[in-house]
Amino acid sequence: MPEITVISGKGGTGKTTVTAAFVHLAGNAVLCDLDVDAPDLPLILRPTREVAVDFRAGHVAVIDPSRCNACGFCMDICRFGAIVAADGEYAVNPLACEGCKACVALCPAGAIDFPVRRCGRRYRSQTRFGPLIHAQLFPGAENSGLLVSELRREARELAVTTGRKIILSDGAPGIGCPVISSLTGTQLAVLVTEPTPSGRHDLERVAELTARFEVPAAVILNKADLGGPAAGAVREACAARGLPIIAEIPYDPGVTAAMVAGQTVTEAGIEAVAAPLRAAWSAILELTAARRAA
Ligand code: SF4
Ligand code: SF4
């Protein structure tokens, strides 16, 4: 089952715009938004939610006031400053609790519970292009890498049960744990960048990551006509790493209008942008086929 993940070294490069166009062009894909901190794909695809489940990971301490004798010992032993006291009552700040369980084990009154932490929500939705797997991590919640892994597993299962032939994912920005979870085992990473010094720098970082995990990669240079010398520097960096540039997309103000209207750029018929993206999608299919044949 080919899995293609679109990533970028940072946010704001047009990653979701590109992914949404590929979603339209793919036709028979299971769609996945792996940016669990700030999922943008649903803003364009406007999905209808069919299934929603809690994402639970780790534990958090919770003081039961009916059992607490207000001795203050837990506050002394918590190394993370997660226990707070007000008016003689003790409580745990869940955003500061690291789940080390020390207070639970040492509370002399046995007053601290240790339930599983609710970190976010996972969704299975339907869009006009097919099923979408996505999630939203709660503010301050952790374990985004684990959540990304769960989304990918669900997408694979859904692809098998629905007979869809490809999994197309909008990855998380950056190079952290959720991006690594997005990448491992995929057939192709599509790296979206922009022609600026920071764009080139972030492209180099994410290219390093794909190389380390032995994931084949190809580059899309967005707003290529605005960069001048910086665009040349991105091309040189790609050539030095042997990374193919499969599309150079010009800046077009119609892209923003299409996104606001909930349309992909290929649906909206913005040809200056849509034509290179169609060529890029053909190149992606060829690269993944070659990878599978190898
Ligand atoms: S150690 Fe236990 S009994 Fe003492 S303040 Fe903390 S929760 Fe309450
Ligand atoms: S579980 Fe650990 S981090 Fe959380 S409140 Fe207790 S001692 Fe602090």
Q: Is the CB of 112 under 6 A from ligand 1?
A: yes
CA atoms within 13 A on the CB side of 38: 8
Which residues fall within 8 angstroms of residue 115, CB to CB, at 6 or more apart? 59, 60, 62
Atom in ligand 1 nearest the alpha carbon of residue 103 = 1
Give residue-wise pLDDT tens across range 143-172: 788 899 999 999 999 999 999 989 999 998
Distance 107 CA to ligand 1 centre (A): 5
Give residue-wise pLDDT tens across range 234-288: 999 999 999 999 999 999 999 999 988 999 999 998 999 999 999 999 999 999 8
- Which two structure tokens, joined as six digits, stand for 118? 């609710």
DSSP letters spanning 189-202: EEEEE-SSHHHHHH
- Which two structure tokens, joined as six digits, stand for 140? 């301050």
3-state secondary structure of 293: helix
Distance 80 CA to ligand 1 centre (A): 16
Atom in ligand 2 nearest the alpha carbon of residue 77 = 7
Q: Is the CB of 105 under 6 A from ligand 1?
A: no
Give the CA distances from residue 196 to residues 9, 26, 204, 292, in Å, rounded to whole numbers and listed in that order.
Answer: 12, 30, 12, 34
Distance 56 CA to ligand 1 centre (A): 26
**CA nearest to 200, candidates 2, 5, 8, 7:** 8
User: pLDDT value at position 177?
Assistant: 83
Give the β-pairing of 188-193 and 83-86: unpaired
**CA nearest to 160, candidates 22, 23, 30:** 30
Distance 192 CA to ligand 1 centre (A): 52
**Pocket lining for ligand 2, CB < 6 angstroms:** 61, 78, 80, 82-83, 92, 97-103
3-state secondary structure of 169: strand
Which residues fall within 8 angstroms of residue 123, CB to CB, at 6 or more apart? 47, 49, 51, 52, 132, 133, 134, 135, 136
Three-state secondary structure along 114-160? CCEEEEEEEEEEEECCEEEEEEEECCCCCCHHHHHHHHHHHHHHHHH
Give residue-wise pLDDT tens across range 31-76: 999 999 888 899 999 999 999 999 998 899 999 999 999 999 999 9
CA–CA separation, 219 and 121 (whole Å): 32
What b/e readout covers 260-282, taking b as 16+ CB neighbours within 10 angstroms? eeebbbbbbebeebbebbbebbe
User: pLDDT value at position 13?
Assistant: 87
| Max Cα-Cα span within the chain | 70
| Enclosing H/E stretch for 25 | helix 15-26
Give residue-wise pLDDT tens across range 78-136: 999 999 999 999 999 998 999 999 999 999 999 999 999 999 999 999 999 999 999 99
CA–CA separation, 105 and 144 (whole Å): 27
Q: Quick one: DSSP state of residue 47?
A: P
User: pLDDT value at position 269?
Assistant: 87
234 vs 1 pLDDT, higher one: 234
As a whole number of Å, the end-to-end CA separation of the chain is 14
CA–CA separation, 81 and 75 (whole Å): 7
Total-model pTM: 0.85
- Percentage of the chain surpassing pLDDT 70? 100
Testing ligand 1's pocket by substitution, the residue of 60, 67, 68 carrying the most ligand atoms inside 8 A of its CB is: 68
